[in-house]
Amino acid sequence: MDMINRSAVVVRPAQAFLDWLHRIDSTSRHLTLTDLRQEPTIYLLPESDSDEQALEHLREVSAEIFEAELDGWYRVPSAWPEERGLSTFQRWFEYSFHSTIIDLGDDPIQHEEV
């Protein structure tokens, strides 16, 4: 068992995200927030000593995470909102920080470019 020198943020779509998805993709009308939140994405951030520090790390990558989440549901960037900074991110997503990351796997961690 190894502790990893990272923090994590778990990101789940909020109502604003669902409203946008329903507007731009008529095939998504049957989806609910429960559906969108079933498998949240976990992003590793630099190690943080406080929620304030974690929030600063999130500020630096919020647009990148925003785009990854949008792309996971609708792959037409021209339909994405233009403003993807932290304040918009905070309206479109619920998130929680986690400071203890423990690796219980035996195999080495592999990195893949996404």
Structurally, how many domains does the chain consist of? 1
With respect to residue 111, please indicate whether it lies within any of the assigned structural domains.
no
Residue range(s) defining the domain that contains residue 54: 2-103
Q: What is the token pair recorded at 74?
A: 């609708």
The predicted pLDDT at position 73 comes to: 96
Q: Is residue 11 part of a domain?
A: yes
Cβ(68)–Cβ(26) below 8 Å? no
pLDDT by residue for the chain (114 residues), tens only, comes to 899 999 999 999 999 999 999 999 999 999 999 999 999 999 999 999 999 999 999 999 999 999 999 999 999 999 999 999 999 999 999 999 999 999 999 998 899 987
Residues 61 and 110: beta-carbon distance below 8 Å: no
Backbone angles phi, psi at 103, to 5 degrees: -95, 115
Pairing of strands 6-13, 93-98: antiparallel
The pTM score is 0.92
Does any domain span residue 110?
no
